[in-house]
Amino acid sequence: MTHVALKDVTFAYAERPVLRHLTFALERGEFVGIVGPNGSGKSTLIDLIDGLQKPSRGEVLVNDRPTGAYRRLEMAREVALVPQHFDLDFDLSVREVVEMGAYCRGKDPAQCGDAGLTLSRLGIAELAPRPFTELSGGERQLVVLAQALMQQAPLLLLDEPASALDVSHQLHLFDLLRELNRDGITVLCILHDLNLALHYFAKLLVLSEGEVAAFGPPDDVLRPEILEAVYGVRAYMHRHAGRTYLTFSPRLRGERRGCVHLVCGGGTGAGLMRELADAGYEVSAGVLNALDTDEETGRELGLQMAVEAPFSPVGDEAHADNLELMRAADLVIVTAVPVSHGNARNIDAAREVLAAGTPVWAHEGLLKNDFAGVTAGLADAGVEFFAGDAELLTAVREREARPQGRSATPV
């Protein structure tokens, strides 16, 4: 059964349109998150559903009835809203503040619910006698949620309820929302943390500049290309410990800076991969074994890589791929990767491009982890050594500012 429906809703403050041609519906009992950049119209959307604003065009229906047809008291029994900002400069006790939520249930205590029980459900029973004005930001957020729960409405709208909460209270809050949802309450919650959105919500609505950019299960909706279009950042999806999570990098401005190839493995290159990619370099890597930590990171970052089967020595095909990537690079960096007979050919490849004129830099740790005896003499061959990743990154940045070596293209 449809609980909330928006039909071609447009809303504008004065002349500035905030929401444009919004059409979507929530079924009874759904658990939906709203995400979107600042100013995308999220708060306005929940104000419209609560009937606090009237659409300029189109219709907002709650229980198949236009929101404008509700009196405020009726609406408060149907829709509870947890606002983002909440001001109260008067010395009311927490219990008094929470009890105000039962206003729409009349004066009969049997109908009003118990403020103490509601507070203990949120794990803040001990706050009841305290003055509201003395609470911390996070405590206030929970108290306002308790106030909204006292309305006993079947639809709960929340505007960034977790923004002032520490991580433990955040998780507690979203667990509680899920529990309320299991009890049959429809939940529509604005939040900014996309990873929480990914984990907790059955469905996400992505708003962008007042329009629905995507609406559906989180895995379909929080795809990197959608996030890039909506937020203007690069998004990467990672899988770890059985979960999917997102990380973000700022979007690149202007041209790519140049191409760096990494010889790495076993997690020695993951950090450089991310740093260099974020700084705007085109990064390639190889040869890496599939399922190696660096290989996984490179895959999540969408890098070009020469890859060999898991636990196998570098074969001819992978070696050839690797050489091709190295030749295309402006700089080759060898990390402190342990070198054995399995990956010794990567060092050979580095020597080959060095001879052909591509600068090769290396982490000093490489020499200590050489179990194949192939790194001796690299310094004599012209490989520059650096004390660590930080020094390497600094050098890459300086190199860009002051081109050196034989490479004509700035790296």
Partner 1 sequence: MTSRARRNGRLGIALAVAIFAACLLLSLALGPVSLSPAKLVGYLTAGPGSGGPGGIIFWDIRLPRVLLAFIVGASLAVAGVILQDLFLNPLTDPYVTGVSSGAALGATFGIVLHLAPLPWMTLLALAGGFATLATVWVVARRRGRIDIYVLLLAGVTISYFVTAIISVMMIRAHEDMDAIIYWLLGSFNGRSWPEVEVALFALPFMVVPLFFAREMNILLQGEKRALELGVDVERAKRVLLFTAAALTAIAVSVSGVIGFVGLVVPHIVRLLVGPGHQRVLPIALLGGAAMMGIADLLSRTMLAPSEVPVGVVTTFVGAPLFVYLLRRRRSGS
281 near 254, Cβ under 8 Å?
A: no
Draw the binding track, 361-380, toward partner 1 (x: CB under 8 A; -: no contact): --------------------
Give the residue with the Cβ less far from partner 1, 82 or 353.
82
Window 282-311: residues binding partner 1 (CB under 8 A): none
Residues facing 158 on adjacent strands: 82, 189
Query: Applying CB under 8 A, does 104 fall inside the site for partner 1?
Result: yes
Six-digit token pair at 322?
């690797």
Give the residue with the Cβ less far from partner 1, 188 or 331.
188
Give the residue with the Cβ less far from partner 1, 31 or 132.
132
Six-digit token pair at 96?
């008094």
Query: In the complex, what is the shortest distance from the CB of residue 91 to partner 1, in angstroms, rounded to a whole number?
Result: 5
39 near 208, Cβ under 8 Å?
A: no
Backbone φ/ψ region at 44: left (φ over 0), alpha (ψ -120 to 50), beta: alpha
Q: Which residues contact 201 (CB under 8 A, 6 or more apart)?
A: 31, 32, 33, 189, 218
Query: In the complex, what is the shortest distance from the CB of residue 129 to partner 1, in angstroms, rounded to a whole number?
Result: 5
Query: In the complex, what is the shortest distance from the CB of residue 198 to partner 1, in angstroms, rounded to a whole number?
Result: 29
Distance between CA atoms of 224 and 227, rounded to whole angstroms? 5
Per DSSP bridges, beta strands 304-308 and 16-27 are: unpaired
Give the residue with the Cβ less far from partner 1, 10 or 84.
84
Query: Applying CB under 8 A, does 180 fall inside the site for partner 1?
Result: no
Closest to 46 in 3D by CA, of 27, 32, 65: 32
Give the residue with the Cβ less far from partner 1, 83 or 161.
83
For residue 233, report the phi and psi dihedrals to the nearest 5 degrees: -125, 160
Closest to 35 in 3D by CA, of 242, 168, 233: 233
Q: Which residues contact 20 (CB under 8 A, 6 or more apart)?
A: 10, 209, 210, 211
Window 182-241: residues binding partner 1 (CB under 8 A): none
Give the residue with the Cβ less far from partner 1, 57 or 341.
57
Query: In the complex, what is the shortest distance from the CB of residue 118 to partner 1, in angstroms, rounded to a whole number?
Result: 14
HSE-up (13 A, CA, CB side) for residue 203: 16
Query: Applying CB under 8 A, does 129 fall inside the site for partner 1?
Result: yes
Verify cis geometry, omega within 30 degrees of 0, for the bond prior to 374. Answer: no
Distance between CA atoms of 373 and 390, rounded to whole angstroms? 26
Give the residue with the Cβ less far from partner 1, 55 or 101.
101
Query: In the complex, what is the shortest distance from the CB of residue 163 to partner 1, in angstroms, rounded to a whole number?
Result: 17
Query: Applying CB under 8 A, does 100 fall inside the site for partner 1?
Result: yes
Query: In the complex, what is the shortest distance from the CB of residue 105 to partner 1, in angstroms, rounded to a whole number?
Result: 9
Query: Applying CB under 8 A, does 255 fall inside the site for partner 1?
Result: no
Give the residue with the Cβ less far from partner 1, 62 or 276.
62
Query: Applying CB under 8 A, does 411 fall inside the site for partner 1?
Result: no
For residue 6, report the phi and psi dihedrals to the nearest 5 degrees: -115, 130
Query: In the complex, what is the shortest distance from the CB of residue 251 to partner 1, in angstroms, rounded to a whole number?
Result: 36
Closest to 160 in 3D by CA, of 174, 180, 179, 175: 174
Give the residue with the Cβ less far from partner 1, 95 or 319.
95
Query: In the complex, what is the shortest distance from the CB of residue 89 to partner 1, in angstroms, rounded to a whole number?
Result: 7
Query: Applying CB under 8 A, does 142 fall inside the site for partner 1?
Result: no
354 near 383, Cβ under 8 Å?
A: yes
338 near 265, Cβ under 8 Å?
A: yes
Residue whose structure tokens are 């606002």: 83
Query: Applying CB under 8 A, does 128 fall inside the site for partner 1?
Result: yes
Draw the binding track, 60-99, toward partner 1 (x: CB under 8 A; -: no contact): -----------xxxxxxx--xx-x--xxxxxxxx-xxx-x
How many residues line the site for partner 1 (CB under 8 A)?
32
Distance between CA atoms of 397 and 391, rounded to whole angstroms? 10
Query: Applying CB under 8 A, does 50 fall inside the site for partner 1?
Result: yes
Give the residue with the Cβ less far from partner 1, 89 or 316.
89
| Interface pick for partner 1 out of 118, 151, 152, 358 (rule CB under 8 A) | 151
Binding residues vs partner 1 (CB under 8 A): 50, 52, 71-77, 80-81, 83, 86-93, 95-97, 99-101, 103-104, 128-129, 147, 151
